[in-house]
Amino acid sequence: MLTAGAGCGGGEPQDANEPSGNFTVEVVDATFPKTQKLGRQSDLEITVRNAGDDAVPNLAVTVNGFSVRSEEPDLSDPNRPVFAVNGLPVEIGAQPDAREATPRGCDTAYVNTWACGELAPDAERTLRWTVTAVKTGPYEIDYRVAAGLNGKAKAIVSGGGPAEGNFTGTVSAKPNHTLIGPDGKTVVSE
């Protein structure tokens, strides 16, 4: 007697509902401080506009460079952070918790990729990551915009190329100059 079990891999392919095609977008603004300081918080922001006539099915952005890969052979995890993604206090089911300070409602199971859903024609969406520099020296962060998660829906700029960019800069080892007020909590000057 032959029996079959249900499991992974059965059913409809993951990309079955993703439309195929190119969707024109414009990266309206992309900012991240070129000069950073160790232990200092900053925001990486990318604003994308749908410059086409059709809705972008699932606006997704992949960001690489918050960590770098170490060649040390004895490390259990060779990925070493350059920027730590900050936490954000939230309440989930009436319980206090912390979430990463990444674009809200855009979480995916993909590493370093956030998908924010449909983007109507001429609409804009700003994605923000709040991070803290944890490693000194030069850094490079690359980003790429997609119109879906599975590769069938592609985001392109008006010239036909990929919607992508990068940030380069340096994290300084020079300490922050901060003065705390008499109450022990208030930052008076920097």
Helix/strand/coil (H, E, C) string of 50-71? ECCCCCECCCEEEEECCEEECC
pLDDT for 116: 94
Task: Kindly state the tokens that stand for 6.
Answer: 């249900």
Question: How far from 24 is each of 8, 30, 106, 158, CA to CA, in Å?
Answer: 34, 17, 20, 6
- Residues 103-160 have pLDDT tens digits of 888 888 888 999 999 999 999 999 999 999 999 999 999 999 999 998 899 999 998 8
pLDDT at 114: 93
Backbone region of residue 66 per phi and psi (left: phi > 0; alpha: psi in -120 to 50; beta: other values) = alpha
What is the dotted CATH code of the domain comprising 21-189? 2.60.40.10
**Do 50 and 122 contact (CB within 8 A), yes or no?**
yes
Residue 188 CA to residue 35 CA, distance in Å, equals: 22
State the Cα angle at 17 between 15 and 19, rounded to 5°: 90
Instruction: Give the model's pLDDT for residue 99.
Output: 66
Q: pLDDT tens digit string along 6-55?
A: 555 555 544 557 788 999 999 999 999 999 999 889 999 999 999 999 99
Query: Distance (Å, rounded) from C-alpha 45 to C-alpha 59?
Result: 15
Distance CA 130, CA 41 (A): 7
Average pLDDT, the chain: 86
Q: Where are the domains of the chain?
A: 21-189
137 and 171 in contact (C-beta within 8 Å)?
A: yes
pLDDT digits over 170-187, tens only? 999 887 777 777 887 777
- Per-residue model confidence as pLDDT tens digits over 45-73: 999 999 999 999 999 999 999 998 888 88
